[in-house]
């Protein structure tokens, strides 16, 4: 039997509450010595049972306690009370203890199953939250598309000779802007795209960029509040101080 199947079979719960035969008890002890996961599960069961018992224990009423005590004492001859305590319990008390043991085992087993279900649900929830956080981190500009004040500036080939395109999302309220170079071809070796903001026809460097990979589409770029237009040129790797107009790829006005 696989260890996980053995652990989930309910045998360990019965062992803890003493509902196994001596042979079965020895078998469980042997398994605990050989397999650390079995010993770990036994410890967890004992701790859970102790907590369960502390939470649900109800002190018996004095009258009930006195009645049980009287029955036990009357069932054992006074001369043999010291040597035979526990050997001559009343039949009804033995049945009661056995029934209580079974009920406790069932309740404890159900509690353990519910605990495992909750642990699995918590793990699934944590995975979902982590995926959500990764999505938010990988695509932070998605929120800007729904924000008030966001404008979309389409950048096109100034000569109309290619279908190259890019988009700048610009929001003066949040003071954020993003670039989506969704239709720019991969640059040749030794070249790199560079984004420019035009203010009164004067270019302001907004940095070089590589085309997004791994499904990402947006690139956060510097926010230039007075930008009248945006342009992308193809420059030597690392960028240039001023744009190479002969390698102007796309351009678009803000208004």
Does a structural domain hold residue 74?
Answer: no
- Domain shared by 10 and 134, yes or no: yes
Residue with tokens 């992308």: 232
Residue with tokens 């102790």: 50
Does a structural domain hold residue 71?
Answer: no
Other CB atoms within a 10 A radius of the CB of residue 154 amount to 12
- Domain shared by 150 and 122, yes or no: no
Does a structural domain hold residue 111?
Answer: yes
What pLDDT was estimated at residue 2? Answer: 67
- Domain shared by 153 and 186, yes or no: yes
- Domain shared by 104 and 175, yes or no: no
Nearest to 149 by CA among 121, 127, 181, 171: 171
What pLDDT was estimated at residue 116? Answer: 74
Domain closes at, from 138, 156, 176: 138
Contact 249, 161 (CB under 8 A): no
d(CA 157, CA 179): 16
Half-sphere exposure of 126 (CA within 13 A, CB side): 6
Does a structural domain hold residue 75?
Answer: no
Concatenating the DSSP letter of every residue in the chain gives: --HHHHHTTTHHHHHHTT-S-HHHHHHHHHHHHH-HHHHHHHHHHHHHHHHHHHHH--PPPHHHHHHHHHHHHHTS-GGGHHHHTTTS--HHHHHHHHHHHHHHHHHHHHHHHHHHHHHHHHHHHHHHHHHHHHHHHH-GGGGGGGSTT-EEEEEE-TTS-S--EEEEEEETTTTEEEEEEEE-PPPPTTEEEEEEEEETTEEEEEEEE----TT---EEE---TT--EEEEEEEETT--SS--GGGEEEEEE--
- Domain shared by 215 and 233, yes or no: yes
- Domain shared by 149 and 209, yes or no: yes
- Domain shared by 121 and 169, yes or no: no
Domains of the chain: total: 2
What pLDDT was estimated at residue 195? Answer: 98
- Domain shared by 46 and 101, yes or no: yes
d(CA 253, CA 207): 19
Domain closes at, from 138, 165, 199: 138
Give me the tens of pLDDT residue by residue for the chain, a chain 255 residues long. Answer: 567 666 666 776 777 777 678 888 888 788 778 888 878 887 877 777 666 666 555 544 444 445 545 554 555 455 444 444 444 556 656 666 666 676 777 776 677 777 777 777 788 888 877 776 665 554 555 667 778 889 999 999 999 999 999 999 999 998 999 999 989 999 999 999 999 999 999 999 999 999 987 656 789 999 999 999 999 999 999 999 999 999 999 999 987
Does a structural domain hold residue 199?
Answer: yes
- Domain shared by 109 and 205, yes or no: no
What pLDDT was estimated at residue 141? Answer: 55
Domain ranges, residue 26: 3-57+90-138
Q: pTM for this one?
A: 0.47
- Domain shared by 176 and 152, yes or no: yes
Q: Which tokens hold the place of 39?
A: 């010993």
- Domain shared by 124 and 13, yes or no: yes
Does a structural domain hold residue 191?
Answer: yes
- Domain shared by 116 and 179, yes or no: no
Domain closes at, from 105, 121, 138: 138
């Amino acid at each position: 039997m696989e260890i996980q199947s053995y652990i989930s079979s309910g045998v360990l719960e019965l062992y803890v509450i003493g509902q196994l035969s001596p042979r079965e008890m020895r078998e469980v002890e042997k398994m605990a010595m050989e397999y650390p996961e079995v010993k770990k599960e036994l410890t967890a069961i004992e701790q859970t049972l102790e907590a369960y018992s502390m939470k649900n224990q109800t002190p018996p009423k004095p009258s009930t306690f006195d009645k049980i005590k009287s029955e036990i004492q009357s069932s054992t001859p006074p001369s043999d009370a010291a040597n035979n305590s526990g050997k001559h319990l009343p039949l009804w008390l033995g049945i009661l203890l056995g029934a209580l043991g079974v009920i406790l085992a069932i309740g404890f087993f159900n509690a353990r199953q519910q605990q495992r279900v909750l642990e699995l649900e918590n793990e699934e929830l944590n995975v979902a939250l982590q995926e959500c956080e990764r999505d938010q981190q990988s695509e932070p500009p998605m929120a800007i598309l729904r924000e008030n004040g966001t404008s979309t500036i389409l950048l096109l080939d100034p000569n109309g000779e290619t279908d190259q395109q890019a988009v700048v999302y610009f929001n003066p309220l949040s003071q954020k802007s993003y670039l989506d170079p969704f239709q720019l071809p991969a640059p040749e070796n030794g070249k790199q795209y560079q984004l420019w903001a035009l203010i009164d026809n004067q270019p302001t460097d907004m940095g070089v960029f590589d085309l997004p990979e791994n499904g990402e589409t947006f690139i956060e770029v510097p926010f230039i509040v007075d930008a009248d237009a945006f342009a992308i040129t193809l420059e030597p790797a690392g960028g240039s101080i001023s744009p190479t107009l002969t390698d102007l790829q796309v351009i678009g006005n803000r208004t």
